[in-house]
Each structure stands twice: as structure tokens, then as C-alpha cells.
Structure 1
Amino acid sequence: MGWFTEPDYWVSRLVFQRGLAALYLVAFLGAALQFRALIGERGMLPVPRFTARVPFRRAPSVFHLRYSDRFFAGWAWTGCAVSAALVAGADGWLPLWGAMLLWLVPWVMYLSIVNVGQTWYGFGWESLLLETGFLAVFLGNDEVAPPVLVLFLLRWLLFRLEFGAGLIKMRGDECWRRLTCLDHHHETQPMPGPLSRFFHRLPKPVHRVETAANHVTQLVVPFLLFTPRPVATAAAALMVLTQLWLVLSGNFAWLNWLAVLLALSVIDFPASAPRTAPAPLWYEVVVLGVAAGLVVLGARPVRNMLSRRQVMNRSFDPLHLVNSYGAFGSVSRVRHEVVIEGTAEGTPREDSGWREYEFRGKPGDVRRRPRQFAPYHLRLDWMMWFAALSPAYAGAWFGGLLERLLENDPDTLRLLRRSPFPADAPPRYVRASLYRYRFSTRRERRGTGAYWQRTYVREFMPPTRLTGTGPPA
């Protein structure tokens, strides 16, 4: 079938595949380095406890068959190795069927992790990586030109990602309709970056332009993806610029970078297409069958996207093949942070010498400038932001976190930037307090050297010891 492939997009495929492999590598690396404290055998939400109550059909994963921390570590590090091989172009050294199988490996491996990751893996970019990764299996390698149907499905995924995010904003917080959300968002977003304070301090008219440009990019430009070249190329390029703006202004794991890669798959880079063989019949049949199946499955996320009761970041099947996306349907006007402290004294009083734990990414020390971590994902730091929004988000794991801090658990302490207690002398008590944080004004920054100003709000968790932990207040 002459229409089946599009040779002009071979550079787009190359850039997309290498970038996707790099994001797989980041995802597996984060799993390998963080899993023990989060979902390990002694973690806050252990995998064995989860697989004991959730059947395989609801959450397909190799860890239903066997789990140990050593096995999980080997699984995650193997995922890193396979991803690194794909970054290096190993799929180009294999026949077409072998390349497809190689791309299937990280998808299966990461699916097994996400499906037992529970709260720690409940973010929309997990499903986005899996949905994108599944499509990448059928993009082929240097033997054949990129299939038109798979390129179209990548555009359709980018459309749903952007348009769904735009709709959830317009249906949600009124500040998006009034163009005022960015007066607050740069300061209250989950994990500010090194330039977030600069973005927050931009004049309010600039914030209005930012917000309006966001609406245009998410609600109008996605339709141009399905127009002929060069309009579709220009639309995708505009999306790339918008996503890079978001990269500069905050830390959203690999969400923005994956959106960039999806947009780059739309752009036909000017380069002479290499000679390729005609697509084999079996490959055409497989791609047609997969595309038809995804179109059928995709009806549910489309209905959700068009519904007035639209929900964001939801998967509609246990394999995460089709999903809904969206972010910040509501924007916080005030930033709250949960601050955890410990004391070595036997009686927990206000003057008991409380010492503060420092997290890697979330605000803590007011003098510490926010760091850039994306595309790496600090899962505990993100969930601490949700905990500050409502204790209900922390009910399943926060008590376990405090218990492990009381034990000076080394796996948990490795998730932190700094523990105020030596390894052989854990605290006697820990407590958690809620503070309001805001960026320092220029005058405050010059006078105090602090990036943040904070004010005590209330107790989040009373002083707790190993024999008396309980759920958050």
C-alpha cells in the first residue's frame, strides 16, 4: 500500500524515538533509586500488600507473580539498560520485528511498575509515557519509512493532551476565564524551579498574555495539527515553544518534554529521505489492527473530554493504552507547605530543640533557591505538596513516613536532602506543621537573602513517637 508510509518524517521519527528512550531511562532510574522507601517490602505502601488485595486483571504486573526488593531493583536497572540501548540506537541494528520487540520491552517493564506503584505513580505523565511508548512500538526502524497511521495517532494523542488540558481549565477555576490564574500559579505550583520566582514577579499584564496564549495553544492550535503542511508544522512548533516556557517556569517531571517529543513528531524536518524497503505485509496488518483497536478504545476518553463532568489524568484500561489528560483545573491562591521536625529530647515541648528535615525539591529552608529537577521525578516531594492541600491525600502514607524518620530508615533518608540527626541517633519525637509560603519581594530578598517568606498556620501532626503514630489531623 503506497499510502501506508511517509518517508519525509524519518528524521522526526529518529528524534522522537531517541528522546522517548531518554525519558524511559529517566523514569526507570527514578524507580530504581526511590522504590525501597515508597513501595518496597518495608516501604510506606508495600507492593506485596497491594498485590494481595488487587487482582492481576485490574493491575497487570510481573510483580503479581513474584516480588522482592532485589527482584524489583533488577527489573528497574534492566529497564535502564534497555532504555540506554535504545538511546544509542540499538533498534536500528535489528530487523524490523526485532526492533518492535525491543521497543515493547520498556513498555511492558514500566507498565509492571506503574500498575503496582499506587499513589506514588498516580500522575498523568505515567499514563502518557505508557500510551506514547505503546505507539512507539509500531513506528518501525530504518528498514521502513514511518507508518502514516502511527504518526496520526501520535498527533491525536498530542491533540487530546493539549485540548483536554485546555477544556479542564475553562470548565474549572474561574481565574482561567478571567486570565488571572498566573498571578498565583508560578508561586503555588507543586515544585517551583530556579526561575519560578522571576516568572511570578512579572507584571500582571504579562501574566494576562501568558494565560491567553495558553488558551490559544491548548484550545485552538491543536486543531491545526490535522491541516496540511506547513500549517501543521507551525502549530507543532508553537506547542514546542509553549512547552519549553513551562520547562523554564517549573518542575513537571517529564510531562513537558514528552509533549515536546510528540510535537516534534509532527514536524517534517528538511532532509533527504534514505532509501527504505516497502513495508512488509505482516507489518501493515499489525499496524492496521492496532490502530483500529485503539480507535475503538479511544471512544471513552473522547466522551470524557467532551463531558461537562470531565475528569483529568484517568486511565480507561489496565494497560494504559488510552487515557485522559489535564492539569490545574483549579489553581491555589496560597502556598502551604508541610514542615517535618524532630527532637532528641524525651519530652516534646515547644522549646525542645526541634530540628527540620530538608527535602530535595519542595520548599523548606527559606534561603534555599528552588532547584531544577525535571525531567527527573521526586515522588515524595510531589506528594508532600498534595498533603499540604489536604491531609486526606496523605492518610495512606504519612504515618509511615514519620515512622521511618523515627527509625532513621536509610532508604527513606536517601529521599531527603538532609536529615538533622546522625545515623546512629534517631529522633525521639517527630512532628509536622503547616506553614504558608510566599516568594520574597525584591526588597525582602535584598534585605534577608531569603527566596521565601513563611508564616506558621497550624499543627499538621502532633509530636509522635514510634509507639504512638496516627493519621494526620
Structure 2
Amino acid sequence: MDVLGWFSAADYTIAREILQRGVAAIYLIAFVSAANQFPALLGEHGLLPVPRFLQSLYAAKQPTLFRWRYSDRLLLAVAWTGAALSLLILLGIPQQAPSYVFVPIFLVVWLLYLSIANVGQTFYGFGWESLLLEAGFTVGFLGAHDTAPPITIVFLVRWLVFRLEFGAGMIKMRGDRSWRDLTALYYHHETQPMPNPLSRTAHLLPRWWHRVEVLGNHFAQLVVPWLLFAPQPVASIAAGVVILTQLWLVATGNFAWLNVITIVLAFSAVSDPVFGFVAGGAHAAGIGSATVPLWYAIVAAAVTVFLVVLSWQPLRNLFSRRQLMNASFNRWHLVNAYGAFGSVTKERYEVIVEGTLDDPDDTTAEWREYAFKGKPGDPRRIPRQFAPYHLRLDWLMWFLALGSRDTRWFEVFLLRLLEADARTLRLLRASPFGREPPRAVRARMFLYRFTTRAEKRATGDRWVRSEVGLLVAPVALNG
């Protein structure tokens, strides 16, 4: 039996494919990232061990499969299971099964990643973790090929994009004055957490262009999101604006999967006829059923009511003078508040970690630098592109340089370097001592800026750095 035609979003079957496969692809990256980094950062002998965290009252309230037991082996089983299921969805295999099979598979992926994120502590304290969880839960209910996408779920995905974009726009207007006087991008490309190969080029563009960038950002985040709910083709055009602005951010920075998932979710506003028009006027054929079975309409309606009820606090937050940025209002990370870069750092500081094989008290001791994969270090090295892969240690090093109060993980990190811990060293690009433990390590603070074009021609360097001071005095295992 079919319900009324209004509940069917039969014109959004191509969008459904992009949404489900795109989100699954990001889950795949996130699970692989967890398998590669979690044991060293948060494992049994990690920088912030999960077993110790699970003893806290806060952890006891978190929904996670690790509540009763954690081991690195179990973590890897969860991560690789999630990666395998994500890959199947990316390939479109579970979508061929009935929705009563497909939707639970997507929910299992969501639950597995929720279990990881909820014990990830500061290394998982990023807004895009909640974004991925909310996206996975929502797009899973778009259903398999035996049903048309329910129109209410399509609009809930747009509501997610709206909160993501409009929330970011409002936090900027309420935050740093540089967003209001259009000077924010005089600094942002240089001071962002992890620059990429084009960040310096973007930074060196004329200042009038940076002001245009800020104006374009305000238009894209404060005006365009409202148009996502307009009739076609206006909604598709609005989605196109979101996609184009996010592509510029992808081209000029490393923001893990934040920009990529925003691009994917924006396709919720692009209809099949618009896809056909873009393809040259051909009619875009729907994928799967054109109707919603009654049983699935009941499921989708229940989920819609559930998510609408949870939307009240995030809605209030959007228009609150004390707007929260990247906040979750429930333990399940559903219907969250988003926003990024409400303030812009004007100067870039970097923590440089060094070790020595000599007596650290000897003024002639040779100190050699540990090289990180993503964060700036060697002034001559071109910043690499890692996003949508998330280098969690490198991001925390950026917060450390900004004066982060939680430095427990960094203290243990220095200890692991003194031990030449193999897992920890794999998080780095290179250790100056190979597998040999240093006699002592220290951390110095430097001020970094991009070289001008003339400086680059003269020296070959991409950064100019000057020492600010000593962050951590030399420490050794023998005290």
C-alpha cells in the first residue's frame, strides 16, 4: 500500500545516492583514521587512555560499546567493522536490499562511530564529529531502493545544512570584529589550524580580494541557507552556491571532512530534473521506487517527529545572544549546533618539539626537531593536503600553541618520545633519531608567517619563523 503522493520525494533519488554514498565515504575515512590513530592517542597505553576515562562519572553516562570493556583489539574490531560496512554502502550494495535491512545497517555504522567518538575526549572534540553522526543517522532514513526518499527526511537534511551554514554565519557576526569590518581573511589563510599547498597563495592575494571573500562568505552563510527551502530551481541554485564556496575552502585549507560533508549534504536540495538539465537537458531517471510504502512512511514520520522535537534547542541557539558553537544537546549527537571560526587568530604560533642525544645541560648540545605530518615545522616544506583525513595530533598541537589549558596529553606525548614509543612515532612524519630514544626533549614556541613572494625567491622558504620562548624546559626520563 502507498501513502499520499506528497510524502514521496521521487525527484530526489539521485540526491539520495550522493547523500548516502558520500556520507558512507566519509565514515570510511573516519573509521580508517580511528584504526590508524586511536590506539596511540587514546588506547590502553595512549596519551589519554580510554580505560582511565571510563572510570569517570561523565563517561558512565555516554552511550558507547566500550562502557563495559575497552581494549585496543576491540577498538580495531569496531573500527574495521565500521569501515567494511561503510564501504558496502559506498558501493551501493545494501541499497539493493529492502529498507528494513538497509536502514539498520546504516544505524549500525552510526552506532559504531558514536561508540568511538564518545570516548575520544579532546582528540574527538571537534564539531565535525557530531556533524558526521547526525548526518549518518538522518540520511540512513532516506531508505533503500524499495522506497522513494521521504520528503520530510530530505528537508531534515536541508535543515542540517541550514544550521551548519547559518550557525557559522551568525557566530562570525557575533564574534570577531574582523568578520564585520571585512578584514578576517587578511589573517585566516595564514593562521588556520593546518594550511594546505594553496594556503600561502590564497594569503598573498590582494586585500581587496580578501574583503570580497568575506562578503561572499556572509552571503553564502547568512542569505543562501534560507533559499534551500525554496521551490525548484531556486533550492538547487542555493545548493550550488554552498557547494562552490565549500570547494574554495577545500582548495585553500585542511579542515578534515567538514567541507566535504557539507558539499555532500548540500545535494539534498538538488532535484533529479536539475541534474538532468546540468547533464545537457536529458531527463534524469529516478533510482528505485517512486512511492513510499505505508510501513516505511510510518517509520519516517516517527523519525521526523523525533528530530523535530530535538530541533527546539538548536533553533533557540541560532538566535541566542550567547550562541553556542559546535555544541551537542544530547548524548547521541543528534540535531546539534554548529559554527566555526567565530574569532580569527591574527598571529600564528607553533610549538616545535626537539630532542637531543647529548647532555641537555650542555650549551653545545645538538637539538633536533621532530617533524609532524601536517602542521608547519620546517620553513622550506610545502604544507600538504590531508583533508578529509583528520590528523588529530596535529590539530591538538595548534590548540596547544593557542594556549589550550588541557595539556595532559602533551605531557604524556613528551614521555612517549623519550621512550621512543613506536605507536607514537608513527603519528609523526619523522623522528630525528629513528627508533633510538633521545636523552631529553623540549618544546619551543615560534611565531610563523608566510614569506612574501620576494622572500620566497630569495630563500626558497615558505615560512619565516622567529623564536618566542621556551614552552617546556628540557625533560629526561631520569628527571
TM normalised by structure 2 equals 0.95
Note if contact 2:8-2:290 (Cα within 8 Å) is conserved in structure 1. Answer: no
Alignment correspondent of 1:387: 400
Alignment of 1:439 onto 2:450: yes
Residue in structure 2 matching 1:300, options 313, 316, 323: 313
Residue 316 of structure 1 is matched in structure 2 by 329
**Partner secondary structure for residue 63 of structure 1:** coil
* Deviates most, 297-306 or 250-259: 297-306
Report the secondary structure of 2:61's partner residue. coil
Q: What is the CA–CA distance in structure 2 between the aligned matches of 1:186 and 1:277, rounded to whole Å?
A: 46
What are the equivalent positions in structure 2 for 1:253-292 lying under 5 Å apart? 253-268=256-271, 269-270=275-276, 271-274=284-287, 276=289, 278-292=291-305
Correspondence for 1:471: none
Q: Return 285-294 or 348-357, whichever deviates more.
A: 348-357
Q: CA deviation at 1:348?
A: 3.0
Amino acid at match of 2:419: E
CA displacement at 1:216 relative to structure 2: 0.4
Alignment-derived partner of residue 124 in structure 1 = 127
Aligned 8 A contact 1:345 1:428 in 2: yes
- Secondary structure, aligned partner of 2:115: helix
Correspondent of 1:250 among 235, 253, 258:
253
Aligned partner of 2:206 in structure 1 is 203
For 1:416, give the aligned amino acid. L
Find 1:326's aligned residue among 317, 339, 361: 339
Does residue 470 of structure 2 align to residue 459 of structure 1?
Answer: yes
Relative to 1, partners in 2 of residues 1:350 and 1:329: Cα closer, same or farther, differing over 3 Å?
Answer: farther
1:412 equivalent to 2:415? Answer no
The DSSP-based 3-state class of the residue aligned with 2:144 is coil
Which piece of structure 1 moves more, 276-285 or 304-313? 276-285
Listed as ranges, the matches of 1:67-106 within 5 Å are 67-106=70-109
Aligned to 1:213: 216
**Separation in 2 of the partners of 1:244 and 1:58?**
38
SS at match of 2:6: coil
Q: Distance in 2 between matches of 1:157 and 1:35?
A: 28
Structure 1 position 133, deviation (Å): 0.4
Instruction: State the partner residue of 1:339.
Output: 352
- What's 2:29 paired with? 26
Q: Secondary structure at the match of 1:341?
A: strand
1:427 to 435, 438, 450: 438
1:189 aligns with 2:200: no
Q: Cα offset for 1:297?
A: 1.1
User: Which of 45, 48, 55 is matched with 2:51 structurally?
Assistant: 48
Residue identity matched to 1:196:
S
How far off its partner does 1:384 sit?
A: 0.1
Identity %: 56
* Structure 1 residue 273, shift from structure 2 partner: 2.0
Q: Which runs of 4+ in 1 moved over 4 A?
A: none
State the secondary structure of the residue aligned to 2:317.
helix
Say whether the 8 Å CA contact 1:251–1:375 is kept in structure 2: yes
- Is the contact made by 1:348 and 1:429 (CA closer than 8 Å) also made in structure 2? no
The worse-fitting range, judged by mean Cα deviation, of 296-305 and 337-346 is 296-305
- Note if contact 2:19-2:265 (Cα within 8 Å) is conserved in structure 1: yes
Decide whether aligned partners of structure 1 residues 344 and 92 sit closer, same or farther in structure 2, where only a CA change above 3 A counts.
same
- Deviations 1:87-138 (CA, angstroms, capped at 9, x unpaired): 1112223111001111111100000000000000000000000000000221
Q: Unpaired segments of 5 or more residues in structure 1?
A: 469-473
Q: What's the offset of the Cα at 1:333?
A: 0.7
1:422 to partner: Cα distance: 2.6
Could you list the runs of 5+ residues in structure 2 that have no partner in the other structure?
A: 277-283
Q: What is the RMSD of the two structures over their aligned residues, measured on CA atoms?
A: 1.2
Structure 2 CA distance for partners of 1:143 and 1:376, relative to 1, 3 Å: same
Q: Does 1:143 align with 2:154?
A: no
Q: Secondary structure at the match of 1:323?
A: coil
Report if aligned partners of 1:170, 1:176 keep a CA contact under 8 Å in 2.
Answer: yes
Say how many residue pairs are matched. Answer: 466
Query: Please, what TM-score do these two structures have when normalized by structure 1?
Result: 0.97
CA contact (8 A) 2:353 2:369 kept: yes
The corresponding residue for 1:66 is 69
- How far the C-alpha of 1:55 sits from its partner, in A, is 5.1
Whole-angstrom CA distance in 1 between matches of 2:416 and 2:456: 35
* SS, match of residue 359 in structure 2: coil
* Counterpart Cα distance in 2 of 1:429 and 1:56: 35
CA contact (8 A) 1:186 1:192 kept: yes
Q: How far off is 1:281 after superposition?
A: 2.3
Please say if residues 47 and 116 of structure 1, whose CA atoms lie closer than 8 Å, have aligned partners that are also in contact. Answer: yes
